[in-house]
Structure 1
């Protein structure tokens, strides 16, 4: 249900913005203001941010409502307990007014020129969606321990099923009509169904390109359901089923890249040498070339300046799948 206090008649009749930012939220009071601040610092200013409250109980909606009072580009929608996929569908398919839709996540931080770069890239009518490079961090961008890769050429289903260079949906922007043609996210898949939707997007003919520039930082969230192994496995299983509908099965190189991703994740999460070695051995057996390279190089980019907020606790470290 829409929060009428923040979707005003003036909002409905105002000229549509160029970009709609879709930002689903749960109990994210510790990090949501950091994300909204990074949006406010964008050099490209013609945007709206639809923050979808999925039943938060920690004051997140109040923080968003307060921010909306200071910046009318921020809008609040209510989506209590409907889940991440439904939140994205509601905002992106039903309420977005921008010609472009950029996904975001609470706690993630964007480079100030991110939207400007994406708007320029998507000015080419032959491109349907675009992504960049992102850093993965736990508490602040200063503790970033790795950056996502960027695929050479257009994104393929096989690459998505490997190391998925998009990395996080917070790193993807696409045309609103392309999102509509994809029919949105499957609400039956736990954790939002990001990978299955991207396979469907690319399989349906969308041209997705990468930008080698650093676009921002994705925060690891301890209570991110999409990061749990069960949800990750189900998302991948459904993605592989969808890929098969387009005549694609994961190549040996793709499987090796996926195992490399799992080995890195096991190492970062401290799951033990046995788990890390298990994935590494399987990856090497699938394809030594796929497993060993190309590695993810460090990405340049300034760490965003943060205005300190006394009493704000840091989030727990846990990297998403």
Structure 2
């Protein structure tokens, strides 16, 4: 059996997908298949993928019979042959030893899903100093409702049988689809472990799905409803942390200053202590929300990259 199936949904990604696929094909661990799932893709993007298919027999194209990135990922997992499915979006990059790290981790049969540390970038990997934080313990639903340490589907690998057992991704979910899936994985007792080493470079584009802040809130509401099925509700502290995340994102994306202020005000009202701690994240966010009208866009982007 193939060790890994890498699943890449693509749509209109001609500007970035070649770099993404090259980073995947450059993995030091070579026992994998690369399944690129077209979700009503542009002709130009499809041509880029076809060129990679001709170059490497491990790459193949699948057509998603439905629509949307979650459905595309589910289709990729349904046709995969690997023991472990790992996802990557068509504008992100992997470090060369990501699969090697995961192969060692999944040697422990008690681990069902895994993720690593993320580095954020705008144009070139490393141009932003921000890195994600990886917890030491397996993820729980309360952890996930406070702050999703996985951050993105590009950072998730899961045993294929486990992914199928929980029903895969919600096809209707476009925002926070990873969070909703992770809640089901944790709720069903599956072990999700983090590796405190860099694995993914996440492109912090001002456009794209993750820029739609209100839609992100709607996606989170869906994830919260899933958590309720397991008897877990978000605490005021976890809601405050999520409001801080939205405030930071509004500042980075150059949204109307009133949006950042509204998110910050809501978070502080829920739990000022949780919103402000750690101080290196909370205090600049609160100040940034107040000063947003006077902060030039490049400064906001630099200060609130994550």
The TM-score normalised by the length of structure 2 is 0.86
CA contact (8 A) 1:109 1:218 kept: yes
Q: Determine which of 106, 122, 125 is the counterpart of 1:138.
A: 122
Whether 2:247 is the aligned partner of 1:263: answer: yes
Whether 2:36 is the aligned partner of 1:51: answer: yes
Whether 2:164 is the aligned partner of 1:177: answer: no
Q: How far apart, CA to CA, are the structure 2 residues paired with 1:256 and 1:233?
A: 13
- 3-state DSSP of counterpart to 1:49: strand
Q: Which has a greater percent of helix?
A: 2
- In the other structure, the counterpart of 1:77 is 62
Alpha-carbon deviations, 1:20-51, whole Å to 9, x = none? 00100001111011011111221111111100
Alpha-carbon deviations, 1:63-114, whole Å to 9, x = none? 111111111111110126621111111111x211110110100111111111
Q: How far apart, CA to CA, are the structure 2 residues paired with 1:165 and 1:295?
A: 18
1:179–1:250 Cα change, 3 Å: same
Give the superposition deviation at 1:270.
1.6
Q: Determine which of 12, 17, 23 is the counterpart of 1:38.
A: 23
Whether 2:109 is the aligned partner of 1:125: answer: yes
CA contact (8 A) 2:213 2:250 kept: no
Whether 2:7 is the aligned partner of 1:27: answer: no
CA contact (8 A) 1:262 1:279 kept: yes
- In the other structure, the counterpart of 1:209 is 193
Give the superposition deviation at 1:164.
0.7
- In the other structure, the counterpart of 1:17 is 2
1:58–1:292 Cα change, 3 Å: farther
Q: How far apart, CA to CA, are the structure 1 residues paired with 2:278 and 2:91?
A: 29
Alpha-carbon deviations, 1:186-227, whole Å to 9, x = none? 122344732222211211111111111111211134553354
Structure 2: runs of 5 or more not aligned:
282-300
1:63–1:84 Cα change, 3 Å: same
Matches within 5 A, 1:217-232: 217-221=201-205, 224-232=208-216
CA contact (8 A) 1:43 1:112 kept: yes
Q: Determine which of 40, 47, 54 is the counterpart of 1:62.
A: 47
CA contact (8 A) 1:194 1:235 kept: no
- In the other structure, the counterpart of 1:9 is none
1:247–1:192 Cα change, 3 Å: closer
- 3-state DSSP of counterpart to 2:146: coil
Q: How far apart, CA to CA, are the structure 1 residues paired with 2:280 and 2:108?
A: 28
Structure 1: runs of 5 or more not aligned:
1-15, 298-316
- 3-state DSSP of counterpart to 1:215: strand
Q: How far apart, CA to CA, are the structure 1 residues paired with 2:80 and 2:280?
A: 34
- In the other structure, the counterpart of 2:72 is 87
- 3-state DSSP of counterpart to 2:157: strand
Give the superposition deviation at 1:62.
1.3
1:205–1:96 Cα change, 3 Å: same
- In the other structure, the counterpart of 1:196 is 180
Alpha-carbon deviations, 1:102-146, whole Å to 9, x = none? 010011111111111111111111111111111222222233252
Aligned pairs, number = 285
